[in-house]
Amino acid sequence: LSLETEPVEQVVNILLVDDQPENILVLRSTLEALGQNLLVAHSGREALRHVLNHDCALIILDVVMPDLDGFETAQLIRERESSRQIPIVFLTAGDRSEARAFRGYSVGAVDYIHKPFHPEVMRSKASVFVELAKKTELVREQSRRLRETEQREHERQIAEATQRHQAESYRIRGELLVKEMEAAKARAALELAEARSQLLADLERKNVELDRARTQAERESRFKSTFLAGISHELRTPLNGILGFSEMLQQEFFGPLNAMQKEHIGLVVESGRHLLALVNDVLDISKLEAGRMELALEPTTLASMTGAALETVRPLAEKQGVTLELDAAASLPIVVVDPVRIRQVLYNLLSNAIKFTRAGGRVLVRARKAGEEIEIVVEDTGVGIRPEDMPRLFREFEQIEPERFAGEAKPEGTGLGLAVSKRLVELHRGSIAIESRVNEGTTVSVRIPLARTIEVGAATAPEQEGA
Ligand SMILES: Nc1ncnc2c1ncn2[C@@H]1O[C@H](COP(=O)(O)OP(=O)(O)OP(=O)(O)O)[C@@H](O)[C@H]1O
Ligand SMILES: [Mg+2]
429 Cα–ligand 1 center, Å: 22
CB of 396 sitting under 6 A from ligand 1: no
CB of 441 sitting under 6 A from ligand 1: no
Q: CA-to-CA distance for 321 and 360, rounded, in angstroms?
A: 6
| DSSP, res 411 | P
276 Cα–ligand 1 center, Å: 18
Q: CA-to-CA distance for 320 and 356, rounded, in angstroms?
A: 10
For 385-439, the pLDDT digits (tens) are: 988 888 888 887 777 654 555 445 556 777 889 999 999 999 999 999 999 999 9
Closest residue by CA, ligand 1 atom 1: 353
Q: Which residues contact 60 (CB under 8 A, 6 or more apart)?
A: 14, 15, 16, 17, 27, 88, 89, 91, 113, 126
Q: CA-to-CA distance for 233 and 464, rounded, in angstroms?
A: 11
The ligand placed nearest to the CA atom of residue 394 is 1
CA–CA–CA angle 429, 393, 290 (5° rounding): 50
**Helix (H), strand (E), coil (C) string for 234-299:** HHHHHHHHHHHHHHHHHCCCCCCCCHHHHHHHHHHHHHHHHHHHHHHHHHHHHHHHCCCCCCCCEE
CB of 352 sitting under 6 A from ligand 1: yes
Listed residue (327, 332, 351, 435) closest to 385, CA to CA: 435
Residue 465 has pLDDT above 80, yes or no: no
For 30-48, the pLDDT digits (tens) are: 999 999 999 999 999 999 9
335 Cα–ligand 1 center, Å: 27
Q: CA-to-CA distance for 237 and 72, rounded, in angstroms?
A: 163
CB of 415 sitting under 6 A from ligand 1: yes
352 Cα–ligand 1 center, Å: 5
Average pLDDT, the chain: 86
Residue 50 has pLDDT above 90, yes or no: yes
Distance, CA of 107 to chain centre: 94
Report yes or no: 273 and 236 within 8 Å, Cβ to Cβ.
no
For 79-105, the pLDDT digits (tens) are: 888 888 899 998 887 666 655 666 767
- Candidate from 352, 378, 434, 435 with most ligand 1 atoms within 8 A of CB, to mutate: 352
Residue 461 has pLDDT above 50, yes or no: no
Quick one: pLDDT at residue 409?
A: 56
Closest residue by CA, ligand 1 atom 25: 417
pTM of the predicted model as reported, rounded to 2 decimal places: 0.53
411 Cα–ligand 2 center, Å: 10
Percent of the chain past pLDDT 90, that is, above it, reads: 51
Quick one: pLDDT at residue 102?
A: 65
Calculate the alpha carbon distances from 190 to 48, 181, 199, 200 in Å.
Answer: 89, 14, 14, 15
Could you give the angle at which helices 339-355 and 417-427 cross, rounded to 10 degrees? 150
Q: Which amino acid is at 366?
A: R
Cα dihedral 73→76→82→86 (10° resolution) = 40
Q: CA-to-CA distance for 108 and 88, rounded, in angstroms?
A: 7
Report yes or no: 265 and 246 within 8 Å, Cβ to Cβ.
yes
Confidence of residue 455 (pLDDT cuts 50, 70, 90): very low
Quick one: pLDDT at residue 466?
A: 40
